[in-house]
Structures are given as structure tokens and as C-alpha cells.
Amino acid sequence: MRRTLAELHQSLVENGLVAWTSGNVSARVPGGDLLVIKPSGVGYHDLTPESMVVCDLDGTRVDGDLSPSSDTASHAYIYRHMPEVGGVVHTHSRYATAWA
């Protein structure tokens, strides 16, 4: 899952959906109350499977050396309250930003 998330973050860059370090993808760990998310402040090109952070559904880091994304609480809230959700994508594309 960490490898897949690192690759998905590269796809965000390739498709012009993010700027700097804003925006991320997370995934629920199947069969557990855990999520995997991008670390805070790490550039997309510097992301590796090993840099991804595992958190519980309260947003507390349980595995990984880096701090989880500043958006972790929002992702965790969705997973806690919507058990059918397996992944969350949060972007800052120019289109979404202009619309907002």
C-alpha cells in the first residue's frame, strides 16, 4: 500500500493536481483501523514507500519516522464515519482553487 500511495502522489504531480506539498492521497488499511498517508512537508518527488506514514483512525502515527500530513485528521474523520470508504484524495488543482 505504501508503494501504491507513493506512485499515486506522483500521478497527482503529473496531472497538475497539486502545487508544492499541498494535497495528498490516503488509503484505509484493509481489515484494520489504520490509514496510510503522505508525510507533512515532504515534496512529491522525494516521496518513497518508506516515507509514508501509518496512523490509527484518530490520526495518531503508529508507524513511520515522519509526521503525518496536516490533513490527517480530516482523512481519519472520513474513515471513522464512513467505513465503506477505502481512499481519500485531496488536491489543490488550479481548477479547484479557482472555483473555491
Separation of alpha carbons 1 and 22, rounded Å: 21
Q: Which domain holds residue 88?
A: 2-99
Q: Which backbone phi and psi does 99 adopt, to 5 degrees?
A: -65, -40
Residue 6 sits in a domain whose CATH number is 3.40.225.10
Separation of alpha carbons 42 and 45, rounded Å: 8
Q: What is the DSSP letter of 48?
A: -
pLDDT tens figures, 21-66? 788 899 999 988 999 999 998 989 999 999 999 999 999 999 999 9
Question: How many domains does the chain contain in total?
Answer: 1
pLDDT tens figures, 28-39? 999 889 999 999
Nine cell digits for residue 57: 483512525
